[in-house]
A and B are shown apart, each in its own frame.
Chain A
Amino acid sequence: MGVGSSHGNGLFFRTLTEKQAEEIHLASCQVLEDTGMVIHHEEAVELLRQAGAHVEKGNRVYFPSFLVKQALQSAPSRVTLYNRKGEAALHLEGANVYFGTGSDTLNYLDPFTLERRSWRQEDVTNAIRLCDKLPNIDFVMSMGLLSDVDPRMINREQYAIMVQNTEKPQVVIAEDGDTLLDIIEMAACAVGGKERLRQKPLFMIYTEPTSPLQHPKESVEKLLIAAENRVPANFACGGVAGASVPTTIAGALVQANAEALSGLIIHQLKAPGAPFIYGYGNSPLDMRTMQAVYGTPEAVLFQGGAVDLAHYYQLPSWGYAGCSNSKVCDEQAIAESTMFTMMGALQGCNIMHDVFYMEFGITGSLELLVISNEVIGRTRRLLKGINTDKESLGVESIMRVGPGGNFLGDDHTAKHFRDNWFPDLSDFNNYENWTAGGSKTMIERARDQIKQVLETYQPKPVTQDVRAQIAEILRKAKEKVGEKA
């Protein structure tokens, strides 16, 4: 399998040539072997030493290139995430694309009062309910950092909200290994046991190195727990080009790739064949404001390069979509998020997160989420390409209608017009009908939709028994973190 993504019919997209992918791969291998990484985790260092890595000063690890090859050999080229019902939901393989939210924004842009404020549990609950309803949001992340719970319990409480308010798969952040173990417990309750969760994972865990070239203890700990429990995991550098990774796109790719591969090596040494999602991000540093910004053209290209490397390695890919630097859900927000969503889809990035991120990920907007749901719908239609079968060519229809006729009354139109995309939020009325409907702008219609969903929609609940078990896990965890304090 070469680089590039084949979508519907003739539609094909690629960012790198196979030769470029190889150049980046070789450069990353050189970084791994000659510069190495600092790994703050004894077990991981030991695993690597025994596998043939060179270790200096206790934790500086130099990776011989054969370890890369070995890890790529054992890692699966496809990973499936399941929903709470145990049905296969996300097939992370080939050019399949899936979209979901991001985690842990500090501020909630309240769509009703329009204030920017801290997230409370009820806000995250509402946001997750909305995600459960939106057809083009395929998975959820925690969305908001909870301001009304014990800070050491945030990720556990977020998970409890997610798993009880949507059947969709999740991507999870965990403060540390203990948190991850509790999340595994909660997920196991929801799907009917640990063995079932292992066989049909409901969530994947997001872990990350600290660029440049360092592996924090907690990240590696989570990576190893994930490998052992067959929880799909990534090891995703969140690079800041010009600060934590090189400013050139290629340089950023080389280093981020080296970091991802080092994570993959540790992961596969711990449990060969455990599911791993390859990918990483890059938010280049804006040299005027010193902000790490989302979705610049370079960041979008970078993702294309990362996805083509995933194809080159035959690994599922991880990335971004639907996010913005804007402070409110305005024209900039839609321009940035839409470009990222569409390009990410064309790139064939398997699992894209951060849909609804504003202000570099500091704030979250449900309006952006709902509008992105529509943008993703448009995009999914684009990915189907052009069908050129006999029926679609429509020669007989053209013959029937003839010169000066009208296709509106022809059978072919009635049979096929519903294959086309229809808007949910976009307004296609003429001016008169638009004004008759209240002259509402897109964001006003988005708010109406949010209101309507939150007033009327109830996601499928978990059983009383599961609810009680989750409450018990949280209670024990509170005791545990209380003891530590």
Chain B
Amino acid sequence: MSDFTSLAELVINGNYNGAKDLTQKMIDNGNDPLEIINQGLMAGMNVVGVRFKAGDMYVPEVMMSAKAMSTGIELLKPLIADKDMPTAGKVVIGTVKGDLHDIGKKLVVMMMESAGFEIIDLGVDIDPAAFVKAVKEHSPQVIGLSALLTTTMLSMKDTIEALKEEGLRDSVKVVIGGAPISQSFADEIGADGYAADAASATELCRRIIA
């Protein structure tokens, strides 16, 4: 078995200590850092994605695989120019103003990170101005707005309006989610997408970025 195949296996099995050690060994042996990512770490993660979809792996196992991948990435990052780092996309995410709930949003973050997205998590109780600032600062392809309360979900509309006022609306896709949210609400406030759960949020972002 080649080191690349072994590394992919370690990622699939969620063996993060093993993945870390092997990545280091491969760096020491002079392997190309980008190849280690693409043919080892990402190759493993792609298998995980397929198995997860087929129902053969469950979320906690995906999390362990993602952890294995990121331990390897951490070692490789300093060796690769920022612009060359492979990423599925950049997403800014936050729970909207007045709402402190974040378990669901955290699940989305974990799932998306494990799918290779770069996530900037602003946290909870984020007002429209803060989202605008983050979009200016990070230039994400997507921003994700989360709310659990029917009273706070209206702040999603305010955030979209704020983006429009700043002339940023066309440069970023807006996706929303949370217990009281529905597709019809997304349509009503002019969001680009709605996802009902963490797994479909990942799919949604992949789709609208492509």
Q: List residues of chain A with CB under 8 Å of any chain B CB.
A: 406, 408-409, 411, 413-414, 417-418, 430-433
Question: For chain B residues 28-83, which have a beta carbon within 8 Å of chain A?
Answer: 58-61, 63-64, 67
A433–B67 alpha-carbon span in the complex (Å): 28
Q: Does B129 contact A (CB under 8 A)?
A: no
Evaluate contact between B64 and A414: CB separation under 8 angstroms: yes
- Least distance between A448 CB and chain B CB atoms (Å): 16
Evaluate contact between B110 and A414: CB separation under 8 angstroms: no
With A406-B103, A414-B14 in contact, is A431–B63 under 8 Å at CB?
no
Evaluate contact between A431 and B60: CB separation under 8 angstroms: no
With A414-B14, A414-B61, A417-B58 in contact, is A409–B67 under 8 Å at CB?
yes
Evaluate contact between B197 and A408: CB separation under 8 angstroms: no
> Which residue of chain A has its CB nearest to the CB of B59?
A408
Partner of A430, one of B14, B58, B61, B196: B196
Q: Does B85 contact A (CB under 8 A)?
A: no
Q: Does B107 contact A (CB under 8 A)?
A: yes
Q: Does B157 contact A (CB under 8 A)?
A: no
With A406-B110, A409-B110, A414-B14 in contact, is A430–B197 under 8 Å at CB?
yes
A414–B64 alpha-carbon span in the complex (Å): 7
> Which residue of chain B has its CB nearest to the CB of A407?
B60
Evaluate contact between B107 and A408: CB separation under 8 angstroms: yes
With A406-B106, A409-B67 in contact, is A414–B196 under 8 Å at CB?
no
Evaluate contact between A413 and B103: CB separation under 8 angstroms: no
With A406-B107, A408-B107, A409-B110 in contact, is A414–B63 under 8 Å at CB?
yes
State the interface size on chain B (CB cutoff 8 A).
Answer: 15
Evaluate contact between A413 and B60: CB separation under 8 angstroms: yes
**Secondary structure of the A side of the interface?**
helix
Residues from chain B with Cβ under 8 Å of A418 in the complex? 58
A431–B194 alpha-carbon span in the complex (Å): 14
> Which residue of chain B has its CB nearest to the CB of A422?
B58
The 8 listed contacts between A and B (C-beta, < 8 Å) are A408-B59, A409-B60, A409-B67, A409-B110, A413-B63, A418-B58, A430-B196, A433-B200
Evaluate contact between A432 and B196: CB separation under 8 angstroms: yes
> Which residue of chain B has its CB nearest to the CB of A413?
B60
Residues from chain B with Cβ under 8 Å of A406 in the complex? 103, 106-107, 110
Evaluate contact between B107 and A431: CB separation under 8 angstroms: no
Given contacts A414-B60, A432-B196, 9 further A-B contacts (CB under 8 A): A406-B103, A408-B59, A408-B60, A409-B60, A409-B63, A413-B63, A414-B64, A418-B58, A432-B200
- Least distance between A112 CB and chain B CB atoms (Å): 27
A24–B155 alpha-carbon span in the complex (Å): 69
A85–B117 alpha-carbon span in the complex (Å): 53
- Least distance between B18 CB and chain A CB atoms (Å): 14
A418–B60 alpha-carbon span in the complex (Å): 10
A409–B59 alpha-carbon span in the complex (Å): 9
Partner of A417, one of B60, B67, B106: B60
Residues from chain A with Cβ under 8 Å of B63 in the complex? 408-409, 413-414
A164–B110 alpha-carbon span in the complex (Å): 51
- Least distance between B102 CB and chain A CB atoms (Å): 8
A189–B188 alpha-carbon span in the complex (Å): 72
- Least distance between B106 CB and chain A CB atoms (Å): 5
Residues from chain A with Cβ under 8 Å of B59 in the complex? 408
A478–B106 alpha-carbon span in the complex (Å): 71
A408–B110 alpha-carbon span in the complex (Å): 9
Candidate in B14, B59, B60, B61 with the most chain A CB atoms within 10 angstroms: B60
